[in-house]
Amino acid sequence: MASKSVIDELKKTQILELLDKGERVDGRALDEPRELSIEINAIPKANGSAKVRLGDTEVLCGVKIQPDRPFPDMGDKGIFICTAELLPLSHPTVETGPPQPHVIELARVTDRGIRESHMVDVSQLVIEKDKSVVGVFADIVVIDYDGNLFDACSYAATAALLTSTSPKWTMVDDKPTIVEGAESPLPTTTIPVSITMGKIGNHIIVDPNGDEWASMDARITITTNSDGNICALQKGGNDGFTQEEIIQCGEISVRVGAKIREKLKEAQQSGQ
Amino acid sequence: MGGREATMVLLDENGIRCDGRKIDETRKIMIKAGVLKNADGSAYIEFGDNKILVGIFGPRDVHPKHMSDTDTGILRVRYHMEPFSVTERKNPAPSRREIEISKVIKEALEPAVMLEKFPRTAVDVFIEVLQADGGTRCAALSAASVALADAGIPMRDMVAACASGKVADTIVLDVNNEEDQAGQADMPIGYMPNLKKITLLQLDGILTSDEFKKCVDVGINGCKIVYELQKKALTDKYFGNGSN
């Protein structure tokens, strides 16, 4: 979490000693993510939803699709917005009130990964140009915290969007009106997968758990699309990466991301 | 409210309601204790189509400090709905309705919790409505009681909650979303069955004094049904699949 405790410093010594021997506290390989489970349609009232568990980190995403006014300079495009919030029941240090900077970063990085991959085909979400478009809201809430929220949130939003169904609207008397029985899957073009890596000492580890997260010197989140291209990236933490390390991280994100993408495809098919 | 004409049949001639229930029947209820890793106590409830998660932290230091009380612990409750929990996306910021519900739930729980044993501390109750379908405050209150017990906080009794109401001129148990919209009255009740005390009571709608008595009676019976399920959730967690 945001503040480090004494226990974390003690654990950090142990985590680093293990890494020097090529081992991790929970027995994983350095480039091995935790077990990922995806429950589709956890919230039947939403247009699409997914509850994701990544190890002991648990997040829930619900997608709401409804008519909205377009942004003034983007009258020929629908709206996609992704938010993320840490619920106060997810960890003892989370407080109610306006979001902390690290939560704002989480929401923005998750949003950017999906937005920049052009996963949601916003050009198909226009009801009437410059007047009315379809808005897609992917709201993510963190239910239980054990590190690496970036990836858990990204997988939840992606899985929820992949299994969303959208009503169809037409303009009647200048108002968007639902066309009965014309529901269709939300138009998507690619499956973005975010992979977050932590740097502890000189070691790069994939999908840090809560203890590893608290011990990291730096981190990097890389999102790749279905073609294996990198579409978004965010470095964080108060240490740097060497050029070689960044290249290595890029390769890991493509390789590990491909496996996660298969999981997301499975979830998509289970929802059909 | 006020008995406007509904297009759907709220109660048919055989006494069956719009979702197939009898007048004295609750929706399907499932309660689970201890569902979160980080919280000191937690519970999950499905009450019909309502899905609600409750996490407890405490007793712990009070922050900001000036809120602390040297004579007793304090209870803080936040009732919050997710943006995707309702038909129209809800703004994530707390609404006036959520703030009021937080307050009535806090005041419904306070008589049950032995806060005086923990001076200068706070017990935080975080209620997250993942999906709403009428009667969330009752479901939330019932789940919060289970979560407090799961956190090992000393309690005099658990608060069980259920709504009763008036639909198609008949007093019914556990008003659902459609009945709340089109019905004539809705009365949520929170009740401590062992101490026989009502700790939450609200009403909107019009009832005669006879109907009012009947409504309280029906509601308390509903609370007793919920109470058994609350106890079962705790025995399931702490005694395996306990016998009762």
For chain B, the domain total comes to: 1
Q: What percent of chain A has a predicted confidence (pLDDT) above 90?
A: 89
Q: Is residue B223 part of a domain?
A: yes
- Is there a contact between B130 and B112 (Cβ–Cβ < 8 Å)? no
Q: Is residue B81 part of a domain?
A: yes
Looking at residue A137, its pLDDT comes to 97
Looking at residue A97, its pLDDT comes to 86
Looking at residue A5, its pLDDT comes to 57
Q: Do A62 and B37 touch (CB under 8 A)?
A: no
Q: Is residue B19 part of a domain?
A: no
Mean pLDDT of chain A: 94
Q: Do B89 and A137 touch (CB under 8 A)?
A: yes
Query: pLDDT tens, A118-144?
Result: 999 999 999 999 999 999 999 999 999
Q: Average pLDDT, stretch A19-29?
A: 95
Looking at residue B244, its pLDDT comes to 42
For B30, the 3-state DSSP assignment is strand
Min Cα distance B184 → chain A (Å) is 25
Query: pLDDT tens, B55-70?
Result: 999 999 998 889 999 9
Q: Do A44 and B131 touch (CB under 8 A)?
A: yes
- Is there a contact between A226 and A162 (Cβ–Cβ < 8 Å)? no
The CB density around residue A25, as the number of other CB atoms within 10 Å, is 14
**pLDDT band at residue A1, thresholds of 50, 70 and 90?**
very low
- Is there a contact between B190 and B111 (Cβ–Cβ < 8 Å)? no
Residues of A in contact with B92 (CB under 8 A): 83, 85, 139
**pTM for this prediction:** 0.89
CATH number at residue B83: 3.30.230.70
Residues of A in contact with B93 (CB under 8 A): none
Q: Do A85 and B92 touch (CB under 8 A)?
A: yes
Q: How far apart are CA A194 and CA A237, in angstroms?
A: 17
Give backbone dihedrals phi and psi of A38, rounded to 5 degrees, phi first: -125, 120
Q: Average pLDDT, stretch A78-101?
A: 93
Looking at residue B2, its pLDDT comes to 42
Residues of B in contact with A83 (CB under 8 A): 83, 92
Return left, alpha or beta for A205; rule: phi > 0 is left, psi -120 to 50 is alpha, else beta.
beta
Looking at residue B238, its pLDDT comes to 93
B32 inside 8 A of chain A by CB = no
Mean pLDDT check: name the lowest of A10-19, A153-162, B226-235: A10-19
Q: In the structure encoding, which two tokens stand for residue A145, read together?
A: 């915290």
Residues of B in contact with A43 (CB under 8 A): 51, 84-85, 130-131
Q: Is residue B214 part of a domain?
A: yes
Among B residues 115-174, those touching chain A with beta carbons less than 8 Å apart: 124, 126, 128, 130-133
Q: Do A62 and B54 touch (CB under 8 A)?
A: no
- The shortest CB-CB distance from B82 to any of A62, A66, A95 is to A62
- The shortest CB-CB distance from A144 to any of B36, B57, B60 is to B36
Looking at residue B7, its pLDDT comes to 61
Q: How many CB pairs under 8 A join A and B?
A: 85
Q: Do B39 and A85 touch (CB under 8 A)?
A: no
For A12, the 3-state DSSP assignment is helix
Q: Rg for chain B (alpha carbons), in Å?
A: 18
Residues of B in contact with A98 (CB under 8 A): none
Q: Average pLDDT, stretch A166-186?
A: 94
- The shortest CB-CB distance from B131 to any of A45, A88, A146 is to A45
Q: Do B42 and A89 touch (CB under 8 A)?
A: yes
Looking at residue A164, its pLDDT comes to 97
Which is more confident, B243 or A206? A206
Looking at residue A4, its pLDDT comes to 52
Helix B209-238 / helix B136-150 crossing angle, nearest 10 deg: 40
Q: Do A137 and B82 touch (CB under 8 A)?
A: no
Q: Is residue B107 part of a domain?
A: yes
- The shortest CB-CB distance from A43 to any of B57, B80, B131 is to B131
Place of tokens 């021997």: A21
Is residue B186 scored above 80 in pLDDT? yes
Mean pLDDT of chain B: 93
Q: How far apart are CA B144 and CA B151, in angstroms?
A: 10
Query: pLDDT tens, B111-169?
Result: 999 999 999 999 999 999 999 999 999 999 999 999 999 999 999 999 999 999 999 99
Looking at residue B240, its pLDDT comes to 80
Q: Is residue B43 part of a domain?
A: yes
B91 inside 8 A of chain A by CB = no
Looking at residue B6, its pLDDT comes to 46
Q: Long-range contacts: B90-97, Cβ < 8 Å, 24+?
A: B92/A83, B92/A85, B92/A139
Note down the domain range covering B158: 29-238
Q: Do B85 and A45 touch (CB under 8 A)?
A: yes
**pLDDT band at residue A153, thresholds of 50, 70 and 90?**
very high
Q: Average pLDDT, stretch B5-11?
A: 69
Q: Is residue B189 part of a domain?
A: yes
Q: Is residue B24 part of a domain?
A: no
Looking at residue A14, its pLDDT comes to 93
- The shortest CB-CB distance from A144 to any of B37, B130, B133 is to B37
Residues of B in contact with A66 (CB under 8 A): 88-89
Q: Do A64 and B84 touch (CB under 8 A)?
A: yes
Q: Average pLDDT, stretch A212-221?
A: 94
Query: pLDDT tens, B68-119?
Result: 999 999 999 999 999 999 999 999 989 999 999 999 999 999 999 999 999 9
Q: Do A62 and B84 touch (CB under 8 A)?
A: yes
Domains delineated in chain A = 6-17+26-270 (3.30.230.70)
- The shortest CB-CB distance from B89 to any of A43, A44, A64 is to A64
